[in-house]
Amino acid sequence: MTTALGPSTAHAPAGGRLHGRTAVVTGAARGLGRSCAVRFAAEGADLVLVDVAEDLPGVPYPLGSGSQLDHTAELCRAHGAAVVTATADVRDPAAVDRVARLALDRFGTVDVLLNNAGIAAPSGKAVHEIAEDEWDLMVGIDLTGAWRMTKALVPAMIEQRSGSVVNVASTAGLVGYRHFAGYVAAKHGLIGLTKAAALDYAPFRVRVNALCPGSVRDDPLHEGRMLAEIARSLDVDVDEHEEIFVQSQPMNALIEPQDIAGAALWLAGDDSRQVTGTTLTVDGGFSAR
């Protein structure tokens, strides 16, 4: 794991909903991770931004890069946030432990953990066609990685008797999708982990909640590509995938990254101080049917 300490900057002005707090965001190089990190910074948080920042064998599309992670950091620093970046694979316990030490050594506290690191493929196969290594890769990143980050950072929250863990799941954690068994299983598991952890940590005023995005538009500003990769796995024409996905949305629109960032902010901050063990779905009504 390598780290990059940002230049000394002033804290964001008082008054933000996360002023004076530190947030750790995984999968921060692009997409929802970037959107949430920038929103947290705008609300006064200092940040530890984590990403694998390289392509992984078995994942059939490019993952976030080191330059993209640095760009997220700069966008956050523009809001006055103090920022540390770290490259780490959430499947590696030693790398995750180094992230935890880095966060606590630099900021002394961790108040918010956003478990956002995840992959959408390898997918596109029936259950019996999934290879052992494909299953292990999906579950290792999308479920076990969140458990591992929680295990590393929640003890500090317990000690300070406060904290918020937000697990980015999916509507795939609520319903089934054909030819996406690994992803669906991992996201259902993540919601189960959320509920169990919420009960474990409630006596210590540490909250754990799940956030379930629906079909999120791949906003070029955040360099997201998750929806396009899901379309590719389903053999949907990438040039027409947004129109096709919109057809299944009751509100006739894709979810925007800022919609998810706003929900994550609410779960991270004091406005949700009595909310734990819940699943907040932002899907335009898709899962209501």
Quick one: CA dihedral 26, 30, 32, 34, positive or negative?
positive
Is 240 exposed, middle or buried (CB count within 10 Å of its CB: 0-12, 13-18, 19+)?
Answer: exposed
Torsion of CA 272, 275, 278, 281, to 10 degrees: -20
Of residues 180, 115, 122, 192, the one with CA closest to residue 154: 115
Tokens of 69: 């992670």
Q: Is 61 a catalytic residue?
A: no
The 10 Å CB-count burial string (b at 16+, else e) for 243-262 is eebeeebeeeebbebebbbe
Catalytic residue, from 61, 177, 183, 201: name it: 183
Strands 206-213 and 279-282: parallel
With a CB cutoff of 8 Å and minimum separation 6, the contacts of 239 are none
d(CA 170, CA 137): 18
Whether omega for the bond prior to residue 122 falls within 30 degrees of 0, making it cis, is yes
What are the catalytic residues? 183
